[in-house]
Amino acid sequence: MPMLTYALLLHAAPYSHQAALSALRFAETVVAGGHRLKTVFFYHDGVHNASALMSPPQDEVHLADGWKRLHEAHGAELLVCVAAGLRRGVLDTSEASRHGLAVHSVEPPFELTGVGQLVDAMLANDRLITFAP
């Protein structure tokens, strides 16, 4: 089977819906199968997967760390919709200062970006797979 490039679109909040864990498991399987995971786009309630404040019990999968590992080991870009994130309190240091907030909840390698990047990811990859609750 030829190598394919993948983008994932995640709409589900972490731990609330199976889709959030399924997306991570699918992503790990993509790279294990020799394919390329180029982009993960966090949208709708999926933006919460990018929270640096996520602190699940130690005997549970740490979803944000899972995505970070995929970035570090395989270069997957982790894109968070800025509009969806701002509404939900998911924002990085520059958005926090722009909005006069003393705290932020997104750290690299997660990046805040626009929906245009989702359109790009859809056009640039062989597959775009959506995970929704």
Partner 1 sequence: MTTFSDMETVSDVETVPQDLLIVLRHPPHGSQWLREGLDVALVAAAFGQRVGLLFQGDGVYALLKGQQAGALGQKGTHPQIAMLEMYDIDTLWASETALAERGLSADDLMLPVVPLNAEAVAECFALHPHALIF
Q: Does 83 bind partner 1 (CB under 8 A)?
A: yes
Q: Does 130 bind partner 1 (CB under 8 A)?
A: yes
> Which letter does DSSP use for residue 74 in this model?
H
CA 107 to each of CA 9, 31, 80, 95: distance values in angstroms, whole numbers, following the listed order: 19, 23, 11, 12
Examine the residue annotation and report whether 49 is marked as an active-site residue of this protein. Answer: no
Of 36, 44, 62, 71, the one binding partner 1 (CB under 8 A) is 44
Q: Does 124 bind partner 1 (CB under 8 A)?
A: no
Angle between helices 63-74 and 18-32 (to 10 degrees): 20
Nearest residue (CB) to partner 1, 45 versus 68? 45
Of 43, 67, 110, 131, the one binding partner 1 (CB under 8 A) is 43
CB atoms within 10 A of CB 102: 6
Q: Does 56 bind partner 1 (CB under 8 A)?
A: no
In the three-class reduction of DSSP (H, G, I as helix; E, B as strand; rest coil), residue 38 is classed as strand
Q: d(Cα 91, Cα 51) in Å, to the nearest integer?
A: 8
Chain residues in the site for partner 1 (CB under 8 A): 9, 43-44, 81, 83-84, 87, 114-116, 118-120, 122-123, 128, 130, 132
Please list the active-site residues: 81
